[in-house]
Structure 1
Amino acid sequence: MTDDTVRPAASADVPGVKAVTDAAYHHCIERTGVVPAPMEAGHTANVAAGRVFVAGDPVRGVLVLVPEADHLFLDSVAVHPDAHGRGVGRRLLEYVEAHALPLGLPEVRLHTNAKMRENQKLYPRFGYELVERRVEGVYDRFHYRKRLPAPTGQEPPNPDARGFGH
């Protein structure tokens, strides 16, 4: 693998985005009984909208980030299985925060399937707190958030005052 710098995806990256996403999430199908939403995402549209960020050349890691009014939604993080253990996932998660802070967003939110037990250990190690478990259609999900530091001299907004919903 060459450079692991996280960068915005370009249209030429779409095949790599799809390949990494499919490889990273494929094992979830047997465990959960459903195709993970990231595998069915419109990768071309998400890249064109500036929501996709990649690491590696060729692509070895993928992020899909959706800015909302009061948080940054981490829609997907995927690392190709061949790149596991090389720090790609850590760099991607660090990038999420670096992306949210200049946008002035006070927190990052994400969800993961309740049957993906390894994620329930992973996200708390990176400072995410479990907020709730919610069934949405065929998806049984744990919802997490990570509050980010306020810019110097500002009080952080109280996200609880607006509710936790996506």
Structure 2
Amino acid sequence: MRAARNADVPALERLIEDAFAPFTARTGIVPAPRSIDWATTISALGAEVAVLADRVVGVLVTWPHPDHLLVDVLAVAPSAQGSGVGRTLLAHARAAAARTGRDRLRLCTNAGMTASLAWYGRQGFVETDRRREDGFDRVFLEQRVG
């Protein structure tokens, strides 16, 4: 894990496109992370990347809120899925929440991302809400930290 750098922008754009391609192909929906301006995100919020063999294989973007840490983006390259990269990114988010005095993580994902919903459930997240927002059918999840 390391902080993302501007030099990572092309790799992040590829990773996001590849990670969400099956969902887009299945549903025709272009997910919100595909529209991220990575240079701005890196400078404004920061991002963490998982690197294997000098290749960016995962990304985590969090957004601090007074009572929780929002996991805005968590994505893993298809070639690294199932290898523990996602769990490592999530552990990093949990540690950041605890370190900053926040007792929970929150995130949302598209209702059509059934594999992601199942994965987050296995990681201990619970559903708190479902609603249409910004043109997406979103599922809101939360996990207590600590």
| TM category, shorter | over 0.9
Partner residue, 1:67:
64
TM-score if structure 1 supplies the norm length? 0.82
Q: After the TM superposition, which segments of 4 or more aligned residues of structure 1 sit over 4 Å from their partners?
A: none
Partner residue, 2:136:
139
TM-score if structure 2 supplies the norm length? 0.92
How far apart, in 2, do the equivalents of 1:105 and 1:128 lie? 16
Partner residue, 1:130:
127
How far apart, in 1, do the equivalents of 2:7 and 2:17 lie? 17
Percent of aligned pairs sharing the same letter: 40
Matching of residues 1-166 of structure 1 within 5 Å: 6-56=1-51, 57-149=54-146
Unaligned ranges ≥5, structure 2: none
Normalized per residue, the structure richer in strand is: 2
How far apart, in 2, do the equivalents of 1:49 and 1:118 lie? 30
Aligned CA-pair RMSD = 1.2
Q: 1:107 Cα shift?
A: 0.8
Secondary structure at the counterpart of residue 60 of structure 1: strand
Q: What is the number of equivalent residue pairs in this alignment?
A: 144
How far apart, in 2, do the equivalents of 1:114 and 1:24 lie? 16
How far apart, in 2, do the equivalents of 1:140 and 1:148 lie? 26
